[in-house]
């Protein structure tokens, strides 16, 4: 029997940003940067592991907005245009740096990186990265799970059962539509949990979810195995806790690996270093400096002048850090094993975008961890949580405590002086949506009314995304976040009033359907009370 297990979980999520009404839109770059720096490098890691027959297990959570955007033809076309622009800039840099050998070498490296991205995206996977993840899922080594429909922060939506249930159900349905399977696991947005949330998860067919460390530590019963075995919430849905030690080694700004002096510096980019006239064609409106992704310096440390990045040295450090990470996990397992009634599972969840975007060498570190963990002399094995539950189907019954993985461990990052104003508006719209569902449940399928009602449900879900209050608190693109919420709520209010007055403007409705092209199979009737939906379903099935 194995001494213990390591479960690495990557959560990939971006808010739904798609603007067909504009020829290009800056915030769409969030997706393009993540594809280039995170998702394609991750796919390349998985491809290499498969080629070499490596024995590993990894869990990847794909949020419904990200799933939708990765399959969107408009965004796929715009990403190709973005890549071509990066290749053009890299070629320009190669010419500019020909008398600077160290930087010239890096410019050529970036050209090769972008060429490889183009090959993987366009030639290898025909612009469909979900197909790549599905391929690796089919091997049994990559487990895919999902999250709430628009990554809504469920603890603050929990005053409405319908709001929470639809965030979960629509999220699961989106995964099913694209992968033809029901996910066993579910990533609670921001790891936001409150007692009772396991019920709608159970109803959606979910077997397990994740909470932060204190969610298990402060459970309704003292956890006999600490945070290194799941709890059964009492209904057959299991809660796994984040391991604080493995989290600190990667996330911590003081002791985490990404801050090593040999790694690439994220905050030094030619978008800010080059003369404005030179870089103008590759930045926002030719005037506003932005990151291009081409960076020539390493972290260096302290107040020193940033030194030139040395890729070979950085990759050597990534392997050393992978070995260090696994050595510490093995020591951790040896310490825990004697105190537990089963082999411990160390759950290490991270934002997927950390790997490659913020931490350029992250994908190489991950590949080393997965390769080395498959070697017998390390004494631990990577595993998915669903496989762990198959081996150990019975666990202590207890309910986790309310918790998140946000600052201070609760909800303060998503409700505070910067963003609290949104929740009365969201709750009002949610109540109105439920009344619409009750009052208009008998409208004809495919009718103009039904289309408007379904679009109102989409607008509500999009307004509920946790990204917008997070951005308002973090102080980044605040105006865009405000506009997203107010626009979605304005669309909902317009549709609500139009439906109530029976004055639906089909041209405007079509425009909304094009702009917010997500959840094609949504059914507004799911916002009815559970008892009414069950009664209607029973009536429908009566001979």
The per-residue pLDDT for range 329-347, each reduced to its tens digit, is 999 999 999 899 999 999 9
What tokens appear for 179 in the block?
């992968």
Query: Residue 56 pLDDT more than 70?
Result: yes
Residue 1's pLDDT is: 59
Known catalytic residue: 497? no
Query: Residue 39 pLDDT more than 80?
Result: yes
Segment 124-129 shows an average pLDDT of 98
Query: Residue 191 pLDDT more than 70?
Result: yes
Segment 430-443 shows an average pLDDT of 97
Query: Residue 368 pLDDT more than 90?
Result: yes
Query: Residue 531 pLDDT more than 70?
Result: no
Query: Residue 374 pLDDT more than 90?
Result: no
Residue 303's pLDDT is: 83
Segment 21-38 shows an average pLDDT of 95
Known catalytic residue: 190? yes
Helices (H), 158-269: 161-179, 198-203, 213-217, 244-251
What tokens appear for 101 in the block?
């050998």
Q: Minimal CA–CA distance to 406: which of 129, 216, 197, 214?
A: 214
C-alpha pair distances (Å), 34 with each of 70, 284, 352? 11, 18, 9
What gap in Å lies between CA 482 and CA 491, rounded to an integer? 14
The per-residue pLDDT for range 127-152, each reduced to its tens digit, is 999 999 999 999 999 999 999 999 99
The per-residue pLDDT for range 402-422, each reduced to its tens digit, is 999 998 899 999 999 999 999
Report the relative pairing of strands 5-12 and 345-351 from DSSP bridges: parallel
Q: Select which of 93, 143, 184, 190 is catalytic.
A: 190
Query: Residue 453 pLDDT more than 90?
Result: yes
Q: Are 10 and 355 in contact (CB under 8 A)?
A: yes
Q: Select which of 351, 450, 513, 517 is catalytic.
A: 351
Report the relative pairing of strands 238-241 and 345-351 from DSSP bridges: unpaired
Residue 5's pLDDT is: 96
Residue 446's pLDDT is: 95
Residue 542's pLDDT is: 41
Q: Minimal CA–CA distance to 243: which of 274, 217, 271, 208?
A: 217
Residue 380's pLDDT is: 85
What gap in Å lies between CA 112 and CA 44, rounded to an integer? 14
Tell me what percent of the chain is helix, strand and coil, each rounded to the nearest 5: 55, 10, 35
Query: Residue 534 pLDDT more than 70?
Result: no
- Over the chain, what is the mean pLDDT? 95
Residue whose structure tokens are 């915030």: 27
Please give the DSSP secondary-structure letter assigned to residue 219.
S
Query: Residue 394 pLDDT more than 50?
Result: yes
Q: Minimal CA–CA distance to 426: which of 463, 462, 467?
A: 463
User: What's the Rg (C-alpha) of the chain?
Assistant: 24
Q: What phi, psi does 8 have (nearest 5°)?
A: -90, 130
Residue 536's pLDDT is: 55
What gap in Å lies between CA 461 and CA 154, rounded to an integer? 12
In this prediction, residue 378 has a pLDDT band, given cuts at 50, 70 and 90, of low
In this prediction, residue 430 has a pLDDT band, given cuts at 50, 70 and 90, of very high
Query: CA angle, 33 as apex, 31 and 36 as ends, to 5°?
Result: 110
Residue 537's pLDDT is: 52
The per-residue pLDDT for range 197-252, each reduced to its tens digit, is 999 999 999 999 999 999 999 999 999 999 999 999 999 999 999 999 999 999 88
In this prediction, residue 532 has a pLDDT band, given cuts at 50, 70 and 90, of low
Residue whose structure tokens are 């599905």: 134
Report the relative pairing of strands 231-232 and 238-241 from DSSP bridges: antiparallel
Q: Are 246 and 8 in contact (CB under 8 A)?
A: no
The per-residue pLDDT for range 169-179, each reduced to its tens digit, is 999 999 999 99
> Going by C-beta distance under 8 Å and a sequence separation of 6 or more, which residues neighbour residue 220?
195, 398, 399, 400, 401
% of the chain beyond a pLDDT of 90: 92
The per-residue pLDDT for range 259-311, each reduced to its tens digit, is 999 999 999 999 999 999 999 999 998 999 999 999 999 999 878 899 999 99
What gap in Å lies between CA 306 and CA 296, rounded to an integer? 9
């Amino acid at each position: 029997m194995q001494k213990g297990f390591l479960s690495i979980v990557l959560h990939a999520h971006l808010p739904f940003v798609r603007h067909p009404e504009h020829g290009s839109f800056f915030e769409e770059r969030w997706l393009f940067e993540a594809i280039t720096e995170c998702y394609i490098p991750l796919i390349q890691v998985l491809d290499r592991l498969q080629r070499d027959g490596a024995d590993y297990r990894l869990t990847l959570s794909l949020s419904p907005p990200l799933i939708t955007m990765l399959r969107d033809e408009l965004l796929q076309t715009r990403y190709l245009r973005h890549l071509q622009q990066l290749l053009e800039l890299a070629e320009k840099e190669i010419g500019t740096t020909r008398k600077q050998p160290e930087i010239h070498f890096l410019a050529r490296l970036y050209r090769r990186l972008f060429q490889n991205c183009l090959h993987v995206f366009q030639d290898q996977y025909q612009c469909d990265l979900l197909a790549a993840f599905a391929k690796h899922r089919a091997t049994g080594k990559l487990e895919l799970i999902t999250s709430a429909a628009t990554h809504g922060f469920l603890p603050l939506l929990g005053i409405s059962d319908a709001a929470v249930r639809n965030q979960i159900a629509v999220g699961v349905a989106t995964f099913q539509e694209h992968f033809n399977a029901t996910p066993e696991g579910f990533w609670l947005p921001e790891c936001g949990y409150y007692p009772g949330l396991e019920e709608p998860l159970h109803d959606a067919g979910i077997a397990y979810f994740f909470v932060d460390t204190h969610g298990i530590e402060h459970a309704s019963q003292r956890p006999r195995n600490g945070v290194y075995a799941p709890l059964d919430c009492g209904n057959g849905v299991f809660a796994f806790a984040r391991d604080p030690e493995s989290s600190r080694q990667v996330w911590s700004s003081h002791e985490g690996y990404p801050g090593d002096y040999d790694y690439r510096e994220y905050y030094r980019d030619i978008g800010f270093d080059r003369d404005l006239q030179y870089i103008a064609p590759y930045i926002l409106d030719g005037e506003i400096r932005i990151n291009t992704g081409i960076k020539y310096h390493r972290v260096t440390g302290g107040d020193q002048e940033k030194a030139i990045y040395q890729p070979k040295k950085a990759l050597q450090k990534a392997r050393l850090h992978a070995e260090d990470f696994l050595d510490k996990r093995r020591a951790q397992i040896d310490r825990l094993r004697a105190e537990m009634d089963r082999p411990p599972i160390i759950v290490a969840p991270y934002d997927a975008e950390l790997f490659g975007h913020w931490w350029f060498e992250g994908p190489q570190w991950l590949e080393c961890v997965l390769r080395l963990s498959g070697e017998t002399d390390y004494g631990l094995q990577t595993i998915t949580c669903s496989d762990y539950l198959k081996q150990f189907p019975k666990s202590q019954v207890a309910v986790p405590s309310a918790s998140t993985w946000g600052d201070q461990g609760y909800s303060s990052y998503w409700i505070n002086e910067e963003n609290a104003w949104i929740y009365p508006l969201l709750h009002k719209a949610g109540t109105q949506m439920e009344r619409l569902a009750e009052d208009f449940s008998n409208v004809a399928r495919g009718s103009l009314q039904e289309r408007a009602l379904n679009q109102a449900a989409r607008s509500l879900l999009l307004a509920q995304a946790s990204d917008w209050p997070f951005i308002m608190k973090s102080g980044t693109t605040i105006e865009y976040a405000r506009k997203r919420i107010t626009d979605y709520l304005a669309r909902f209010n317009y549709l609500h009033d139009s439906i109530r007055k029976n004055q639906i403007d089909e041209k405007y409705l079509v425009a909304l359907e094009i702009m917010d092209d997500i959840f094609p199979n949504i059914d507004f009737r799911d916002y009815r009370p559970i008892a009414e939906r069950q009664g209607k379903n029973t009536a429908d099935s009566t001979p």
